Every structure is written in C-alpha cells, then in structure tokens.
Amino acid sequence: MGDPRGFLNVKRKSCDYRMPEERKKDFKEVFEIRAESCSKEQTSRCMDCGTPFCHWACPVGNVIPEWNDLVYRGKWEEAYKILDSTNILPEVTGRVCPALCEYACVLGINDDPVTVKDNELGIIEYAFEHGIIRPRPPLKRSGKKVAIIGSGPSGISAAAFLNRAGHEVTVFEKDDKIGGVMRYGIPDFKLDKSILERRIGLLSKEGILFKTNSAVGSDISMGELRKIFDAVCLTTGSRVPRDLRIEGRELKGIYFAMDFLVQANRAVAIEKAGDRGVSQYARTMIDVKGKNVVVIGGGDTGADCVGVANRQGARHIVQIELLSKPTACRLPEQPWPKYPNILRTSSSHEEGCERCWAIMTKKFIGETGQVKKLLCSRVDFSEKDEKGCAVMKEIPGSEFEIKVDVVLLALGFLHPEHSGIINELGLELDNRGNVKTDEKFMTSQKGVFAAGDARRGQSLIVWAVDEGIKAAESIGSFLKAK
C-alpha cells in the first residue's frame, strides 16, 4: 500500500452531514461529498492486510484495496477503471449501500474500519466531475437482441454489461421513468434523482434503448417479445408487500410504506420540474402534515418513511419494531467478519422520531371508519426452542395504546407480482413465491432469465447489482451457444 502506516496516523472521517434541523426542511441530499484531499487521506488507512475480507464481503466483489491505493497515489482514473469493472452503479451504492465491506474490514477488528463506502463515492464523483467518464458504445455488435423487463438496479446492471458485450439491449419499464426502486422507493434526500438521470443518459449514449410506459404483459405480450428478442431477462423486483391482517385493517388511514414513498417521490419530482400540477397532485397524496404517524417496521424502508414524514410536517412519529432492540456492538454469535445485527441509527432517525422495540400490534382501533389508535403489547424473545431459535412470547398485562392518524406498514415484501408475465409464461416458482432459476439464472422457460429481487427475494441494492451482472454473463454464454 502507498502508506503502510496510514492507519496508525489517520483517524476515520466519514462524509459530513447537514444539521438535522436544516436538512429536514427540504429533500436535498443529507450529506456532503468529501473533498478530494480528505478521500486521499482516508484511503491511506487501507492496510496491507494480506487477505482483503472487504473484497470477500462485497457482493459485487469490488477490488477495494487496489482502488484505495490508487486514490492515495493520486491515480484517480486508474481507480475508476477498477471500480467500473465490477460495479456499474457505484454512485448509487456509494450513497445507499449498508457497506457490508466495512464490517469485514481487518482494521475494524480493533479500530474504526476504512471508509470504503465514502471512498467509492469519492472515486465515481471525481470521475464524473473531471470528464473521465465518457460514453463507450461497443465497437462491434453481435447481432443478438436482449430484452430486460424492469429498470431497477439488477436490470440496469444486466443491460449495461450485455451492451458492453455488443448485444442490442432494450429495457422495458412500466412506469413513466427509468430507475425502479432507485427512483420511486428511495427518497431524494438519500439519492437525488439527477444522479440516476446522469447514468441513464450515459447508458443511452452507449446504445441501450429505454422504453418507459411499456408494461410487458399488457402493452406488449411476452409472446411478441420472444419473437423479437433472442433472450429475455426478468428484473421486475419484489413488489408484493407483506400485510398485517389484524382486526381493524379495513380502516382508513392505513397504507403500505411503498405507496407512501412512491407518491412522495413523484410529488418531489413534479415540484423540482416546476410543474403547476404539483398542487393538484398533492390533493391525492397520503397526507401526514400535522398528524400522528406510526411506522410499523424497523428496517430501511421504515426509516425512509420517517424521513419523508418529518419533511411533510408530521406532528409526531413513532416507529415500532416487533424484534428486540439490537445491541450497540457485535454479539459473540456474530463475529467479525460477518455482517452483524447491531443498532443502526439513520439520518432520518436523527431528525426526530420515537423508536420502540419488541412491540406487537394487536388491533387497529377507529372512529367513524378512520384509524385512531393502535392496541399493542410488549413481547419477549429470551426463550429458545429446541433448535436454538428465539421464541416470541407476549408479556401478560403489557397492553397499551398509541394515538395515531396515519399508519405506514413497512413490513417488507413477499415476492414478485405473479399476475402478468410470470403467470403468462407459467414460470416455476420457489417455495417463497420467487421466480425459480437454475445456476445460470435461466427460468423454467428456455431463453427467459431472471435476476435481482424477482429471483432471490427482497434484498439489498448491491445484491441486485451483482445478480444483474451474473445474469448478463449467463445470457452472453447462452447467446454465444445459440
């Protein structure tokens, strides 16, 4: 490494965040990208550790020590080339990835780990700012055509790598804009949509054709698609939400988290564009201004709901989680370099929210058809079954009520939508309702592949990127053989 003693001399410094009271007044990104000098200093902390567990923990296999060393030595373009070889969306993962790599950093055993995520973001933003990134359409086309259905992270990744291989790629998206969950599921304060537009514009210049408002299965049938294209890849995501079927579920004021986030993202996009229709659109939105909001579900989607609700002027926000409160540090059963289940506080939580753990929602209570209270109880997970798994038990006499006007269900997702493409093709499903494939990502229909959440179930964006790249490799082999 450039400075083998850097980790002894330099302390960890992440990107700076805007003050909570300032940032929750707008939807601008909550953090500020570090200065180049700071990134160079931070990359010096990367150790000559021999076995780079960061590389092992990264789903896309980012070659982290190498590009850290290159940044330290001021070779930004070479660092970008290495980063680009494994990840087509580092500007996205550098913003929203939970950084599995950092929890596997060797330095993190007895010190603060290297700022891998911020270093990655520094590289890609430097490359864009200094004109290193330019459209690179393939010099030769294979004559083969591939259809990608869905434009989320796995679809974008598959399309990019197939296009680089010289195949003609068309991405079909049922929504009005490209990006999938990156555009409509992640708020602008975490991922400004100009970042997506920048990448999509680049990929378009490289030869990828993007078709929006194109719902495969209704606007165009799979039969027609398979006549035109030599291979098809389903990257439709996992969009069927997990519901909470308890008494009072029919009351008004109870919504799925993704419906809330999609509406909010659309409203922000309209407002940024200066469209006068924003006020009319706002009248159809889930309104939380001045209201008591309860978010059921303690994951990232729930945290995003907290951030949006704060920005929309909610009176009070409570986020409840069924599981016990995680510990602040690793437990013995989650040793390094595993990704630990520890307490994580997001930027949204810092902006104002009451967080509660080990809470079970038993009943929605309403007045004149509108939800007004939650009946909850506390639960305990201290007992284990014969397999060593925690057993949930309700604590007697622990019932209590929470006053609420709007409930947002952030309980995760079950599987991809089966109506339409999956049912039309009669695709085989796994025991969780996801599209079943072989080790080459091919479904039960020859020439039809699947990747991302549609195949593996709800997961992280970085896993979706990895799935898209691997599916592209398999599709390339299939086309070559064909």
pLDDT at 40 over 60: yes
Work out the widest C-alpha separation in the chain, in whole angstroms.
Answer: 71
Which residue is it, tokens 């160079």? 40
pLDDT at 1 over 80: no
Note whether 155 and 467 are within 8 A (CB).
no
Average pLDDT over residues 87-103: 97
Can you give the pLDDT at residue 50? 86
160 exposure class (CB count in 10 Å sphere: 0-12, 13-18, 19+): buried
Determine which of 62-66, 77-81, 274-278 has the lowest per-residue pLDDT on average. 274-278
> pLDDT tens digits for 121-148?
999 999 999 999 999 999 999 999 999 9
Instruction: Assign 473 to helix, strand or coil.
Output: helix
pLDDT at 273 over 90: no
pLDDT at 276 over 60: no
The band of 405, judged by pLDDT with boundaries at 50, 70 and 90, is very high
Instruction: Compute how many other C-beta atoms are within 10 angstroms of the C-beta atom of residue 343.
Output: 11
CATH 3.50.50.60 at 248-259+270-411, yes or no: yes
Average pLDDT over residues 382-407: 94
> pLDDT tens digits for 434-461?
999 999 999 999 999 999 999 999 999 9
Nearest-angstrom CA–CA distance, 338 and 325: 19
> pLDDT tens digits for 11-31?
999 999 999 999 999 999 999
Average pLDDT over residues 82-108: 97
Half-sphere exposure (CA, 13 Å, Cβ side) for 41? 12
The band of 282, judged by pLDDT with boundaries at 50, 70 and 90, is low
pLDDT at 275 over 70: no
Can you give the pLDDT at residue 339? 95
Nearest-angstrom CA–CA distance, 174 and 15: 36
Query: What's the distance, CA 455 to chain centroid?
Result: 16
The band of 278, judged by pLDDT with boundaries at 50, 70 and 90, is low
Q: Where in the chain is the domain with CATH 1.10.1060.10?
A: 6-129
Can you give the pLDDT at residue 226? 93
- Name the class of domain 145-239+414-481: alpha beta
Q: Which alpha helices (H) appear in 32-179, and where do they start and end?
A: 36-43, 53-57, 64-72, 76-84, 90-96, 100-103, 116-129, 153-164
Average pLDDT over residues 184-204: 97
Which residue is it, tokens 């939807």? 27
Can you give the pLDDT at residue 277? 54
Q: What are phi and psi of 374, to 5 degrees?
A: -115, 135
pLDDT at 198 over 60: yes
Average pLDDT over residues 85-95: 97
Average pLDDT over residues 246-260: 97
Mean pLDDT of the chain: 95
Q: Where in the chain is the domain with CATH 3.50.50.60?
A: 145-239+414-481, 248-259+270-411
473 exposure class (CB count in 10 Å sphere: 0-12, 13-18, 19+): middle
Instruction: Assign 355 to helix, strand or coil.
Output: strand
Instruction: Assign 89 to helix, strand or coil.
Output: coil
Superfamily of domain 6-129: Alpha-helical ferredoxin (1.10.1060.10)
Average pLDDT over residues 402-421: 96
pLDDT at 332 over 70: yes
